[in-house]
Structures are given as structure tokens and as C-alpha cells.
Chain A
Amino acid sequence: MKSASVVSAPAASRRWVGAAVPRKEDEALLTGRARFIDDLAPLPGLTFAAILRSPHAHARILGIDVRRALALPGVRGVVTGREIAEVIGPIASVVRAPFAYYPIALDRVRYVGEPVAVVVADSRYIAEDACELIDVGYEPLPAVADLASARAPGAPLLHDNTTSNVISRRTFRYGDPESAFAAADRIFEFSYSYPRYASTPMETFGVIAHFERAPDRYTVWSNFQGPFVIQPLMAGALRVPGHRLRLITPPASGGSFGIKQAVLSYIVLLAAVSRKVGLPVKWIEDRAEHLSAASAASDRLGSVAAAFRNDGKLLALKFHNVANMGAYIRPPEPASLYRMHAASNGSYAVENIAVENELVVTNTTPVGLNRGYGGPQFYFALERVMEIAARGLGIDPAELRRRNFIPADRFPYRAPAGAVFDSGDYPRALDELLRIADYEGLQRRREQARRDGRLFGIGFAAGVEPSGSNMAYVSLAQTAEERSRGERKSGANASAVLQVDPSGQVTLRICSTPNGQGHATVAAQIVADALGLDPADIDVVTDIDTLTSAWSIASGNYSNRFAAIVVDAVAKSARQVADKIRLMAAEALDATPEEIDLSDGYARVRGSNRALPFRKVAARAHWDPAGLPPGTAPGIVETAVVSPPLLGSPDVKDRVASATTFGFVVDLAAVEIDRATGILHIEKYASVHDVGTQLNPKIVEGQVHGGFAHGLGAALFEELAYDEQGNFLSGTFADYLCPTAMEVPPLDVGHIETVSPANALGAKGMGDGSSMLTPAAIANAVADALGRDDVTLPLTLQRVWALANGREYERAAPGRRATPRRTRVSGGALNGGGEIVLSAPIAEVWRRLLDPNELSAIVPGCRTLRQEGNDRYVAEVTIGVAGIRGTYGVTIDLRDRREGQSVRFVGKATGALGFGTGSGLVTLQAEPDGRTRLHYEYEAEVGGKVAAVGQRMLGSVVRFLLAQFFDALEHRIHGRRRAWWHSLRAWRTLLRG
């Protein structure tokens, strides 16, 4: 990088960059003063929204009756999908899809959790109450919840006007893969399915939307994180010119890891709601909504083949990737499939590559950005097949990788699919890894363990970490021909505005919307070095207001873009200010600008004691413009906008320089598995990174540890699970298990540094790397320990146990066709039975059981119950499952009625929070003492939110409700409450049932 005529601070004079400077952000966060989206009330008269969501994976909406909801005091409006569609259009996508994406269902729901209506009320409590009063008629349709069933011939289709759920198929070829495969000594193949998971930031989505007229315009506060290339798409959907959709982010954001990109759907939805109800509206997502319906990393089916020479030389790779987009394609998808594409060679010097990509829609939540974005899936394929090949070739897996790494003297390296790797020394990083992990010692332990009959395994994973994405890479989803018809895209703009005010105080504005990565601290370090100030004296604004910020399409926080690109803009703006200060100081101190050093808050003439305080020099630009050197603009506001020149458009051969910097990560995992229990113990985890210059080593370390925890969660615990009918099963943090401090093992981190030529600091983007490679490294270690290759994530206790004991893992494997089954493991199905002795004769019990007045008194939570005809009851019942309280419309039919002996109740329940069907057979028997023995058996299935949150509690809730029911029945018989020990006894009987 050349600098302007004035010499910038050379690397050697850096004082702050590279130091573990404490974070500027911390004190506000540690004392509870930082402000997040739900802390803001930027407008008077805010109202609060709650969203009614689909309990069905796939259903036609027959009708929505909002009258009862509207009648609830405090409700200010209810808006349905159809009404929303009056004021918005669909949200555009990158690929031409044969269907539209709206942020709310119009007449068909396609995944559990899809918004159906929005209630606006004086409080969120009231809004949630009102959701329950909306009556939606659904006609359930067959659903496809996983990739294999969605792709199967004759599968139910999600969208009209389509002939398949596979909505795009693209093939790519680089070099000559066919010949390379034909010439290979050995070919290794690996097929896999990769689960769906999400990084679940601790703060959920939040939006405050405000519509105003004359002219029509929207202002929306939200914890959106970019990429702001989506802003024009949102404005388009809202049918206003870009500048009439003003987006504002709060000063603090509680994590994102990519996920908060998906806030975009709610920005559009709530903006439209605000317009419809004519009020400013705040919506804060709850955790159950977040888990079921926010976003996720795309789950995949895939296969990979690798062609090798006997000596271990990798000749060619062939990938088949099938990516689950969820029910719609929400921008920037299908980018997850293309993020790694230009680097399909991983860290290896392999010239021949074939890729086939398929995008599939299923009855699941739309996917989007998530930490590592496409990397974890890609490396699971590549690094698993490398490990399999190593075993097949009889070459140590570390050595096999070393033989194929891009040699250190070939950087910058142009990868076959177009990525330009800026710098690297992969063999040196591997050496460092083997050293810090004590690979030899681990190998000895493995030998010893195996001699003892124990299961011990070691696994590696290595890969590049693309950072600072080229905005154009997503268009690889289109053919070169399609691309040539559209507007050309390229680059990745970043801006920095550095301002020195009349009192000489420095403020930097960058559009990087961090979610905890410490951008303000690092940016201040860079500016402090350039201006000779202390970082503590430099204020940094990182949030965006699209009306006043120097934003552009690449703004935001994703693809590790801060350290790859944003820092370059910061450094440039700081250089511009430094140049100006030097010019003014030179004039005042009678020297040349080249002689001026900026340090310790002073502008000094080098080699003399002439100096002026920085602030004083800077203030002159405001107070005395006439006295400035000729040609110097008054004031100090310097804007720098950069886009890495390397990032061009994709060429006709589908090659693209997809990212600005390519860090490198190489990991080793060693595990021991207890065959008897399935407990997996991580004996060693070591990770070596090349992030170029470490701008702030503390922050780098934090990112490595955090990324590792995400990778670990993906490897061992986390899955957003659906059953075969598309019921969502992971709706609470009790069902979706994030690693806690007890599960995260010690992590040994090492670094090597190859300075990046891509920016002025020599830094590379980082933060994703560990999350990309940890799942593959752990899977490799487990495969090594067990001596089997069919290792599927997450490696839960049950799964590891099954693998270690040669059993089938019992949760339905993806790929099985959806057929309703009645087992406890298939989502919301449950069954049971039991008996109880009631202290009344048969005739009385029989009468009470069938009397609507009696029933309405004894059915738990019964609000109304009436008889329709002889054999049908219609009721409204309120029941809570796992804290999810809901009201259900229930119909019960009496069948197989044998007077005074037995009867079958067949029921159906539907409510805002879920639905269920069930049947129960009740048989009565006379006891010798005149009492009645009641025997019952039931089976039921539930779906919707209840299935998502209640999994682990459903059985006990049903037993509890039955206990209440019989307790009440007995109470009616006696006309008084039974003693508590009676209840307890009934309970015990029932719990055994």
C-alpha cells in the first residue's frame, strides 16, 4: 500500500495496534448502561406487537377471524398477511425463484412458526393474549421436512407453479476433473448429512417501526447487522425509494453470529404493520419464536469424492451439495452455498474441481447467515474425506495434508475457482499445531489406549477462512449468461468518517454494526497510532443511521469483514487527518510536513523541541480558516471509502475473487469415548491460526474461543430438529442445548503470522475459523476412535453410544419418507394408560362421565362445553404446557358406546399454540365393595408450538391433566375436595400409567 506524499506511521512505530488494549465497550456493558434495542423508546406513543404463527408445517389458510382479538381492551389493531400484502411486495431474491417470499403467510403456511397475523396492543401482554383470540381455519397439507423427502419423486410440492422442490441446480468445472479422476490411483468418497443449527445470540430480534406520511416514509430501529445490500431490497418490498426507508441500529447488540441478518423479514413486516395501524410499533422476539422461526445455518446432504495418487498427491475433488433453503429463499441466500465456492480447494494445491449444487425448499424455517456461513458444511465434507483418504492410503493425516498444502512460496495464490489467497504458510502452522498439541505424545496415548481396549481417536481439520466478502460472489448462483443480462456487481465498500471538532476531540464513524467484536476499540487503536493520541481519547460510533451514515451495500458485520476491509478505511481516514494536521503544524512550527511527528498528543518537529498540542493545531482548522495554509479546507472531516481492488465480478468461467483475506486455521482434536455410556471426553483440543497482524490479541483470542464453542456445540449438542411431519422440536433452551461452561473443554491456541498485503494493517479477517473447522475435527477424532466413517452430527450421548456399540441410532434418519408413526420419539406422539378406583357405583360414574355439565366442571381448564347431538361435545379449554398457555377449541366424539361398560372418546383440539388429535378408551368395572374401577388407554399426537417446547414434558403434562381430571371427578362424587393424600395416591397410580 502506497501512502500519500506524507509518510504514514510505519509498522515499527505502532504503539497501539497489536497491543491488548482494554475494550472501550466494556464499562458500559459491565455496569448495565449499554443500550440495546429493547431498551429504546425513541418515539412517544409506542405500541407493542405480538405475532401469531403457524402451528402447521404445511397448510392452507381457510380463513382468519380476528373479531374476538379486536374486541379485547387494549388491542389497537390486528393485521393479517393478506392485509400486509396490500402495502408491500415480495422481498426479492438473488436467484430467480418461481415463487415469492413475503415476511408473512398470505394464504398458505409453509413452516411451523411462519407469521400469520400481527396484533398491536398497548402492551405485549395484551398483544399475546389477543393472538390467542384469533381463529384461523387451516386445512393441513402433506409436508416435507427434510431434504431427502423433499427431493423424492412425487414429493408434495411447497409452491405452486413448480414441478419440483429442487429449485436450482448448477454445475461447475475447474481444470479437468474427469481426466484427473480417470488417472487417479485411488478414489475416496464420503456421503453425509449435516444438521441444521443456529448460533442463537443471547439477545433476540427486535424492531421498532414507524411509518409517516407526506412523503410516505419508514423509520425502523432494529438490531439488524447487515449486509446492507439488503436495504434496497427491503425498500423495494415496502415500495418506497431507498432513502425513504431509514434504518437505525442501537448502540449495542447482544450477539449475532450472522443470525441477525434475518431481522430483515421483521423490518419489512413491522414497517408494514405500522403503516396499517398508523402507530409506531415495537416488536421483541421471544426465545421460542427465535428458535423455531428466526433463521439457521442451512442443513445439507452431500457427497465428496477425492482422487489421489498413491504417494498422497490430491489430484481432483468432486462435490455434490444439496442445501436446504427452508420454505422460501430469503436474501442473501443462496449465498451459504457459494461463500466457500471460490475456495473449493480448501487449503490444498489441487487444480481440478467439479461442483454440483442443488437448492431445495422444505417445510422448515428459511435459512440464512450463521457463524462460518457455509464453511462448517464445506469443511465437514472436505476434511472428513481427507481423513478417510489418509487412512486408506496409509499416510499419517497430518502428513497427507502437509503434502497437499499450497506451498508457502506460491502466495498470492490463485485458486482454481477464482479465490486469491493473500498470504500463508500452512506447513509452518501445522508444525506449530503438532508442537503445541504434542501430537507424538497423543499418538502414544492412542496406542496404549487401543492396547487396553479403550476408544481413543485423533482428528485434524485444516482450512482457509475467507473474510471480507465480495458482494458479487452470490451471483454465482446464476449462470454466466444470466449474469451478463443483469447489472454488474463487484467489490465490498467500507467507509470511515473521521472528524476532529472545534475543541480538538476526535470522533470516528464506521458502518460496521458490531455485535460484541470490539470494533470501537480496535478502530480507536488504529486512529491513535496515526494521530499520536491515546485510544481512550477517541470516540468511535459503530452503529448505523442510513440517513446520516456513510453507508453502502457492503456495510454491516459479516464475513469477518472488519479486520479485512473496514480497518483499511479507518487507516486511510486517519492518514488523511494526520496529513492535514502535519500540514497545519508545519506551517505553525516553521517546518515541512515531512518533519512533523505526531505522538503523545503533540505535533513535534523531529529532532527539535518545537511542538504544539494536537488539539490546538486541530482547533485552528475550525477557528481560523483564513490562517490555514493555502489549499487547506476548513474544519476537519475526512471520509475514506475503500473497496479492495481485487474483488471483481465473476468471469465467464465462474471464477471470482470471493473474499479479501484468507486466514488459515488448523485444528487437532483428541477424544476418548466410554463404550459403556457413550460419554465422549475431549482429551485435547488445539487450534493454530494465521490471522495476519493481530490488531488486538485479546480480542483475537476471544474470537477463537467463542468460535470454538460454537463449533463444539454443533459437533456435540445442537440441532434444530423437526419430526417427519415438520413439527418443530427444539423450541426452548431445554430442548436446544447450547454448550455451558461445564461442556467447553480447555482450548490450546497457537498463532503464526503471515502479514496480509490486502490492507494497510496486514490483518486478516477472523472469528469464523474455529466454528468452521471444529465440527470436522471432532468428527474425525470420533471416527478415528470408533474406526467407522458414518459419523453424523451432532454427536449426542445417545448417538455416540449407538455408534460405539454398533447399534442403529433411533431418531429417524434424514431421508426416510414421512409417514405418521406412533412412537414416543416421533415428535409430539404419545400414548399411555392406567386405572383408578372411584368411590361411586358404575351407573353414577357413567352418568357423570357423559354429562356435559359434569364434564365442564371436571375437565381441567374447561371454559365452555356443550353437547351437539347425541355423541359430540364441543369445548373450549385452556391448558399450559411448559409455560406455553393456550386456549384450544376441542371437539370430542363418542364412539363404540357400550352403555355402562365402555366408550371411546375421539378428540381433536386446535388453538393458536398448536393442535392435537387423540383417542381414549374408557372401561368401567364394578368392584366388590360397590366402587368402580375405571381403566383407560389413550394415544395422541400434538403439533405446533406445544410440540416444539413441550417435548420433554408432554408425557408428564398429560398425566398431570389426567390426575386433575380424576381428582375433580372424585371430588364431584363426594361433593368435597379429597384429602391431599388421596390426591397423592391417585397421582402415583397415574404416573405409573
Chain B
Amino acid sequence: MSVQTCLAGQKATIELTLNGQRRSGKAEPRLLLCDFLRHELQAFGVHVGCEHGICGACTVLVDGRAVRSCTQYAVQADGRDIVTVEGLAEAGTMNALQRAFAKHHALQCGYCTPGILCSATHFLRETPAPTEREVRDMLSGHICRCTGYASIVAAILEAADAVSRGA
């Protein structure tokens, strides 16, 4: 059933690109994007922390933009290009941002981390040489209960530096 004609209780077929691969799955109109990505497409790197759009843990990239997947329906993602934390770097490697997180101990439990990485990816593309305040401003859309944020800020600033130097 196409997304356009799908009614409540029925399932539509969603086709999208997930981390560079064509994927499809079934979704009721009310199925949240986060649930679809996790349980239908097994992208378990997408984490759910609040389901009401505040904590940022569920953030993924939709057509390159950071989006909270708990405030979108799966049907809205039909035909889109989605990148989750699993797709930020090639399998078996970490990109400069991820390496900076490890280096600065910018994660403890790591539950908030995938969302922050996705937001930071979008942010650094638009703001390649951010100030600390800009980084903190962007980060304020995420709750991390473990780190106290200082290490995350340091990691993002370092990654910005590394990316702008072409490292």
C-alpha cells in the first residue's frame, strides 16, 4: 500500500535510503520514525530517551538535517535519505568526530551519544569553525546525564578543527 492511501490500522510500505542502502519496511501511519528505524530496520543505534522531543537521543539525519525521530512518523520518511549513527563512518572505522569523542571521554554510558553525533554532524557542516558558545547552544538540544558536557564540547571543537584542517 502506498503511503498516500494508507489508513489507520493498515500498513504502508516505506522505502528509504538508510546509511547508503536502499531499505524498505512496513509501517502503520502512526508508527514513529524512531520505532520504525529500530525495530523494523534494526538500526539500534537510534536511541529513545523521552519520546517527547526534548532529550535529543533519537536524533538522526534526514536528507542531511538533524531530526528527532521520535517526533516524526515513519511515513514521513518515505523516499528520504536517512543516516543514523551506524552510518556516520564506514563499518569498522570511526570518523574524526567519533575519534574526538573517544579521545576526550565525551561519553560514559553512551546512550545520548548517537543523537549528539548526528546533531554535531549537521552542525559542523553548517558551522565549520564554531565558537564554544555556539557548540553549547547546539548541544542544549540534547540531554546528557553522565558527562556534564565539558568533554563533549571539547570533542566537538577538536573535531571542527580537525575537519577544517582536512584531517
Contact = CB atoms under 8 A, between A and B. Distances in A.
In this complex, the member of A22, A25, A34, A200 whose beta carbon has the largest number of chain B beta carbons within 10 angstroms is A34
Given A32-B114, A125-B31, A733-B143, A741 B149 contact: yes
B111 A32 contact: no
A28 to B, nearest CB: 8
Given A203-B49, A883-B52, A701 B105 contact: yes
A30 B98 CA distance: 6
B108 A31 contact: no
Given A23-B102, A252-B109, A202 B148 contact: no
B150 A30 contact: no
A29 B86 CA distance: 10
A516 B102 contact: no
A26 interface: yes
B55 A202 contact: yes
Interface string B43-54: 111111111101
Contact of A32 (B85, B112, B140, B145): B85
A839 interface: no
A698 B151 CA distance: 10
B107 to A, nearest CB: 6
A34 B140 CA distance: 25
Contact of A29 (B30, B113, B140, B150): B113
A433 interface: no
Contact of A202 (B30, B85, B94, B112): B112
B94 A32 contact: no
B107 A255 contact: no
A31 B94 contact: yes
A515 B109 contact: yes
A901 B103 CA distance: 74
A747 interface: yes
Contacts of B61: none
A833 interface: no
B89 interface: yes
Contact of A30 (B84, B101, B139, B148): B101
Interface string A45-80: 000000000000000000000000000000000000
Interface string B129-167: 000000111011111111111111100000000000000
Nearest to A30: B98
Contacts of B89: 31
Interface string A729-753: 0001110001011101011000000
Contact of B94 (A27, A204, A288, A732): A27
Interface residues on B, range: 35 or more
Interface residues of A, number: 58
Interface in B37-84: 38, 43-52, 54-55, 57, 84
A25 B111 CA distance: 12
B15 to A, nearest CB: 22
Interface centre among A39, A256, A732, A744 (most CB of B within 10 A): A744
B28 A125 contact: yes
Contacts of B149: 705, 709, 740-741, 744
Contacts of A746: 150
Interface string B110-138: 11111001000000000000000001110
Contact of B113 (A30, A287, A738, A882): A30
Contacts of B52: 287-288, 732-734, 882-883, 949
Contact of A741 (B38, B110, B153): B153
A518 interface: yes
A30 B105 contact: no
A742 B136 contact: yes
Contact of B150 (A255, A707, A733, A744): A744
Interface string A667-693: 000000000000000000000000000
Contacts of A860: none
A222 to B, nearest CB: 16
B145 A738 contact: yes
Contact of A702 (B54, B98, B143, B151): B151
Q: Identify the interface centre among B102, B108, B137, B147: most chain A CB within 10 Å of its CB.
A: B108
Contacts of B144: 202
A610 interface: no
Contact of A22 (B103, B112, B143): B103
Nearest to A514: B109
Nearest to A201: B145
A807 interface: no
A35 B49 contact: no
A706 interface: yes
A904 B8 CA distance: 38
Contacts of B45: 31-33
In order of increasing CB-CB distance, the 7 nearest A-B pairs are A32-B45, A516-B109, A29-B110, A254-B111, A705-B148, A516-B108, A709-B148
Interface of A: 22-23, 25-27, 29-36, 38-39, 125, 199-204, 252-257, 286-288, 515-518, 698-699, 701-702, 705-710, 732-734, 738, 740-742, 744, 746-747, 882-883, 949
21 contacts: A26-B107, A27-B94, A29-B113, A31-B88, A125-B31, A201-B109, A202-B47, A202-B143, A254-B110, A255-B108, A287-B50, A287-B52, A516-B107, A516-B110, A702-B105, A702-B146, A705-B148, A706-B108, A732-B52, A734-B52, A741-B136
